[in-house]
Amino acid sequence: MRSRRGETQHNIAVLAAVMLAVLGVIVLRYGWLQLVQGGALAERMESQVGHDFSIQSPRGTILDRNGRELAVSTMTKSLYIDPAHVKDPEAVAADLAPLIDTPEQEILDDIAVGGGFVWVKRRMEQSEYEAVRRLIKEKSYADCMNFRDEAKRYYPNDMLAANVLGFVGTDDKGLDGVEQAMDSLLKGEVRESHLQTDRQDRPILDSIFSSRRRYRGDYCKTVELTLDSAVQFIVEQELDRAVAENSPKGITCVVMNPKNGEILAMASRPSYNPNRFWEYQSEVWKNRAVSFIYEPGSTFKSVVAGAALQEKVVTPNQVFVDPGYVMVSGRRIQNWSGTSFGTVTFTDVVKQSLNTGFAQVGLRLGAEKLTEYAKKFGFGEATGIDLPAEESGILFKPEDMRDSDIATMSIGQSIAVTPLQLVTAMSAIANDGVLLKPHIVKSIRNADGSVYEERGTTEVRRTIDSATDKTLIGLLEQVVSSGGGQKAAVKGYRIAGKTGTAQKIREDGSGYMDGRYIASFCGFAPVEDPQVTVLVMIDDPSTGNYYGGQIAAPVAERIFSQLFRYLKIEPSSDPFAGMEPPKTAQPKPARAYEGAVPDGKIVVPDFSGKSLREAARMAADKGLSFDSEGSGYASGQSIPPNTLVDNGAQVVVYFKPD
């Protein structure tokens, strides 16, 4: 009995020892697997039953004021390699090259870079992604290559508003325009995640419900601009036509709502396609409306006229004697025609844009007041619009100005402005003398559609009194109805504005370029209830005609005409209906030229009584650049007969029915 009991106890002891030994082996094995090989096994398990990946929320959308998409993002896969974990570079390159249409040597070069991360191909097509994903599983390449989600930016309208929108680089970083200015709000977020799958690569466990949800992110806002795609299209279409007609170095147009400071259109030529921005020179990316400074020429006279009326140094009917030119501090300042207009009123000075009259007015104002009003209208400082790289322009310090500087500033020289500053100043005149801050971002919305920020009207300051402003508007309206801006007129509508022609400054600032000009027109309509302000600036036209009233005003007229129809603006009541049109101040007759005609000079003929065809032929025979106003027979001309002028000079002949 005792032997059996002992045997049983012995067997139990042996069994216990075996079990303890087995348990010890299990514990040791478990410890080995968990502590020593745990990381490697976990990686192998994850590669076999799931995917490690980064989820990126798409970049926010940019919309126009009517909700039309201007910039959108789609999500794509990008492939990277971890060179430190590539065991056989040649095999990896050979397997991968045909799937992503990339030379093997290029892949080998990427691997040779070393380190832990190298991009191989970014933003792959879906078919490429699927093929590489299968390769990774079949060849167990998960430890040396994988994917990251990346957003691909797409501009559905190609070149439309390209200089405003800008573009996005390869790392979802805005590099110009609105994309750069709003980058911190538009940019998507990245979150690391893991998707668990079964043998058939189907999601399992909580992956079904959570990991595949689209990650919207807390940022990636939607930005709504004040731009109207239809207005932008109208403007860009007309700019393309103007480029074909005038072959300029550049051309810029801005359309603004003068009542709230919203930019309805902003366009430049040359331009580019932001979907392929790398194919263009960087100079073409520039938004000339905010980054280009130039001497405004006679368009700046609207500000000078407003300052003079406000300070009561002049009245609309005040009489000026125009000698044709004036000498100020040894500098000769003459009219655009080079001739005298005789005795004229200040209204005529504005209508005919007489440099002599404005030089006298500027000297009466003085350097302090002239600069003060320039600053009041927003010149000399950035407007603060929601766009990058805005220039501030250039103003003299009053204490440094000589009389000649005052006189030249009064005619739009010795000052540098941006197109946006000029259209903002003209909008202040249209807005009863109140300057508003221009803006191009209307609202910003969160990913869930809620409002993050609304950007409305911001009043900066009053520039001139309301009564003064109404008088100034009356003068500017006559510029378009019967003065130098007649080619901007649209039948049935009251338009106020000012033309400008300025010589281009040499890049080194040493003087002006011969025969190089900037032509412009800036105006608003309808006068009784201004809805739009339009600026057209043509840089360095090369077809021979360079006057703002001749080449910029017609572009503005075509834009105004289409805007009136699109915005459903009713025709104006004509305040001059039934009245004789105001007489245009004519140059004082000059004495007949006597003596030999020097080389390169021409004696202007008398066009009186000639038909349009006869006058045009006479001008061509003489070598003059000819333009006409009206129809019938010649009744006047911009340059008096028998005046000695340069070969190719511009003469405007006025016609009336017989």
pLDDT for 228-276, tens place per residue? Answer: 999 999 999 999 999 999 999 999 999 999 999 999 999 999 999 999 9
Task: Please state at what angle helix 419-430 crosses helix 301-310, rounded to 10 degrees.
Answer: 40
Tokens representing residue 423 in the block: 């259209």
pLDDT of 55 reads 57
> Letter for the amino acid at 1?
M
Q: Cβ distance 576 to 541 under 8 Å? A: no
Q: Cβ distance 431 to 258 under 8 Å? A: yes
pLDDT of 585 reads 45
Tokens representing residue 503 in the block: 């010589």
pLDDT of 143 reads 83
List, for residues 9-22, the tens digit of each pLDDT value: 777 877 888 888 88
Q: Cβ distance 435 to 534 under 8 Å? A: no
* Three-class secondary structure of residue 372 per DSSP: helix
Handedness of CA 563, 569, 570, 571 (dihedral sign): negative
pLDDT of 627 reads 72
Task: Please state at what angle helix 301-310 crosses helix 466-482, rounded to 10 degrees.
Answer: 140
Cα(7)–Cα(21) distance, integer angstroms = 21
pLDDT of 223 reads 96
**What b/e readout covers 519-553, taking b as 16+ CB neighbours within 10 angstroms?**
bbbbbbbbbeebbbbbbbbbbbbeeeebbbbbbbb
**Which residue ranges of the chain lie beneath pLDDT 70?**
1-3, 38-56, 189-219, 508-510, 573-595, 612-613, 630-632, 657-658
Q: Angle 323-324-326 (CA atoms, 0-180°, nearest 5)?
A: 75
> Beta strand pairing status for 118-124 and 250-256?
unpaired
Cα–Cα nearest to 377, from 522, 253, 486, 475: 522
- Cα 258 to Cα 36, 216, 267, 556, distances in angstroms: 73, 38, 18, 16
* Ramachandran class of 404: left when φ > 0, alpha when ψ lies in -120 to 50, beta otherwise: alpha
